[in-house]
Structure 1
Amino acid sequence: MAPDSPVERAAVVARLRAAGCVWAEDEARLLVEAATGPEMLAGLVDRRVAGEPLEYLLGWAEFCGERIVVEPGVFVPRARTALLVTAAAAVTGPAAAVVELCCGTGALTRALARRLVAPRLLAAVDLDPAAVSCARRNLADLAVPVFAGDLFDPLPVAWRGNLDLVVANAPYVPTGELTLLPAESRRYEAPVALDGGSNGLAVLRRIAVAALSWLAPGGHLVVEVGAVQVDELRAVLTEIGLVAEVIRDEALDATAMTARRPTGVAGRRPSGMAGRRREN
C-alpha cells in the first residue's frame, strides 16, 4: 500500500490521535510527505508515537514563514517566540548591529534578517556544540557567523559598546519545574536550553548585566520571559540602569521584555552578581 493512500493516511491519523497528538491530521500529512516508502513511514510514526518531537522527524520547523533546519537535541523553535521578532523589529532602526544569544537553531536571526532594514551586522552565539552546528546550517546562505561560547565571551572585543540589538530566547524554566515540561521537551531537548536555574532567571540576569557594556547608547536588549517572572526581571533591568518595557501577546501566550540602554548611562552591576557564572 502506498504511504500516501487515503487508507494509509487514515491509519496514521488514528495512531497519532490514540497517542494523544492534538494535531493528528496535520502531523500525519507531514509524516506521509516526509516518508519515501511504507517502511520509512512506519518508522517515523513509531518514533512520533513514542514521543519524539515531530520537528526532529521532519528535520525542520516552520518559524515566521521560514523553514528552519532542526537537528536532534537542539531546542525546537516555538511559535510564541515570534513575539521576539516583532518586538525586536519595532525597536531597531536601519543598519543595525544585531547579535542573537542562546541562538539554538538560529531561527531568530534568520527571521530578523528578513524584518530588519539592511542590518550592518548579524551574528549568533550558543554554548551547545550541536546548536552551533545547526545554526551554521540555517545561516550559511546569509553569511552570518555563529560563535561557539558562553553568551558574549566569544564575540570580538571591538563590538563591545557598539551593538544596537541583543536578542535572546534564553532558558527561563526554573530547575524545579523542568519535570512539568512536556515529555518531548524533557526527553529530547538539551537541558542547557531549558534550565534557567533556581528561579528561572539565572541566564537572563547574566545576559542583562553583560549587555549593558555591549549595547551602544540607545541600543536594546529583547528577551523572552515567563509571565510570572516579569516583575523580578524588570527589577534587575532597572537596577542596572536599563529602561524596561513588557510586551504581551495573548494569542501567542507569549511575554517579551525590551530593555533600552539610555544615552550617557553606564549602568551598574546589581548586588550579589560580582563574578557570578551560569547557574544551570
Structure 2
Amino acid sequence: MPPFSPPASFPSRDAVVAALRAAGCVFAEDEAELILSAARTPGERDAMVTRRVAGHPLELVVGWAEFRGLRITVEPGVFVPRRRTEFLVEQALAHASHTSVVVDLCCGSGAVGAALAAALGEVELHAADIDPAAVRCARANVAAAGGHAHEGDLFEALPGRLRGRIGILAANVPYVPTDEVPLLPAEARDHEPLTALDGGDDGLDVLRRVAAEAPEWLAPGGILLVETSERQAPDAVGAFTRAGLSARLAEDGERYAHVVVGTRVR
C-alpha cells in the first residue's frame, strides 16, 4: 500500500471508507464494516483504521479470521490462516473421516485443527508450533474442542503417547524458498513470523523433516497432509514416497491449492 497520513479520527463510516480507499484497500466498504463492528469505542476504531492504512493485515487489525465458517482468533505476530488451506481440511475429511486422533503441526493459530475438530466431532486434538505466540493463540482456538496446544520443534512438541496413533496429521509447513521471502506481499513479509514462511533453500526443508518422521507417529492407515506449491509438488511427493508413505497430489485450481496426501500403509 502507498504511504498514507491518516487524520486524527474517523468520525463516520464514510470517513473510514475514504481512508481505507486512499490507502489502496480494494474492498474498502467491506473492510470498513468489519472494523466498525469490531471496534468497541471511537478510540479503538481510530486505532484500527490507522493500523490498517499503515499496511497491517485486516485479520490482525480486527483480531480474527474466518476459516471454514469459524471465527479464528489471530494475534499480532501470528500467521494468518489462508482460505486456500481450507482445501487441506477438505482433503483430510475426505480420506480420514472416522479418525479419533488429530494433530495440527506447525499450527500457527490452530485454524486447521479447530476446523477438523468442528467437522469430526469427538476427537483427541493436539496442535503444536515452535512459536510461543502461535501456541498461545492456538490454545484459545482449540479450547472449544477440548484440544491441547504444545510448544516445540515439530514432533518434539508432541506427547510420546501419540506415536502410532495419529489418524490425521495436518502440517501446514513453511514452504517459501528463502530467497523468495523478500518478494512476498508486505502484509505477510512484515507482519507474520519468518518461521511460518521460510522453508529453506528450495522451500522444502521442513516438509522433508515432517515426512521423514511421520510414519512412526501415524496410525496404520493414518494420513499426513502438507500444503505446497505447484512447482514444488513433484519433489514434495518424492519426499513422502522416500519416507515410505503412499503419496498423491490433490489440487484445487480455483483456490490455487496443492496438497500432498501421504498414507501410512497398513
TM-score by length of 1: 0.88
Q: 1:94, 1:117 within 8 Å by CA — same for their partners in 2? A: no
Query: What is residue 163 of structure 2 aligned with on the other side?
Result: 160
Query: What is residue 154 of structure 2 aligned with on the other side?
Result: 151
Confirm whether residue 15 of structure 1 aligns to residue 10 of structure 2: no
- C-alpha deviation, 1:55, in angstroms: 1.1
Which whole-Å deviations, capped at 9, do the CAs of 1:100-123 have from their partners, x for residues lacking one? 10011111111001212532x211
For 2:103 and 2:48, how far apart are their aligned partners in 1? Answer: 36
- C-alpha deviation, 1:37, in angstroms: 3.7
Query: What is residue 215 of structure 1 aligned with on the other side?
Result: 218
For 2:262 and 2:100, how far apart are their aligned partners in 1? Answer: 16
Query: What is residue 72 of structure 2 aligned with on the other side?
Result: 68
Which whole-Å deviations, capped at 9, do the CAs of 1:229-249 have from their partners, x for residues lacking one? 001111111122211111111
Q: 1:226, 1:255 within 8 Å by CA — same for their partners in 2? A: yes
Which whole-Å deviations, capped at 9, do the CAs of 1:130-188 have from their partners, x for residues lacking one? 00101111122222111111111122222212211100111111110001111011111
Confirm whether residue 31 of structure 1 aligns to residue 30 of structure 2: no
Confirm whether residue 131 of structure 1 aligns to residue 134 of structure 2: yes
Query: What is residue 5 of structure 2 aligned with on the other side?
Result: none
For 1:74 and 1:101, how far apart are their aligned partners in 2? Answer: 15
Question: Residues 1-280 of structure 1 correspond to what in structure 2 (within 5 A)?
Answer: 8-116=12-120, 118-119=122-123, 121-263=124-266
Q: Kindly, what percent of the aligned residue pairs are identical?
A: 51
Q: 1:4, 1:32 within 8 Å by CA — same for their partners in 2? A: no
Which whole-Å deviations, capped at 9, do the CAs of 1:57-81 have from their partners, x for residues lacking one? 1111111000011111000111111
Which whole-Å deviations, capped at 9, do the CAs of 1:209-257 have from their partners, x for residues lacking one? 0101111221110111111100111111112221111111122121111
For 1:47 and 1:93, how far apart are their aligned partners in 2? Answer: 41
Distance 1:141 1:93, change over 3 A: closer
Q: 2:128, 2:152 within 8 Å by CA — same for their partners in 1? A: yes
For 1:155 and 1:201, how far apart are their aligned partners in 2? Answer: 22
- C-alpha deviation, 1:95, in angstroms: 4.1
- C-alpha deviation, 1:197, in angstroms: 0.6
For 1:205 and 1:145, how far apart are their aligned partners in 2? Answer: 25
For 1:200 and 1:13, how far apart are their aligned partners in 2? Answer: 38
Q: 1:9, 1:28 within 8 Å by CA — same for their partners in 2? A: yes
For 1:177 and 1:231, how far apart are their aligned partners in 2? Answer: 19
Q: Which amino acid aligns with 1:164?
A: G
Q: 1:93, 1:117 within 8 Å by CA — same for their partners in 2? A: no
Q: Which amino acid aligns with 1:69?
A: T
Query: What is residue 273 of structure 1 aligned with on the other side?
Result: none
TM-score by length of 2: 0.92
- C-alpha deviation, 1:43, in angstroms: 2.1
For 1:20 and 1:181, how far apart are their aligned partners in 2? Answer: 17
Unaligned runs of 5+ in 1: 264-280
SS at match of 1:12: helix
Q: 2:250, 2:260 within 8 Å by CA — same for their partners in 1? A: yes
Root-mean-square deviation (Å): 1.6
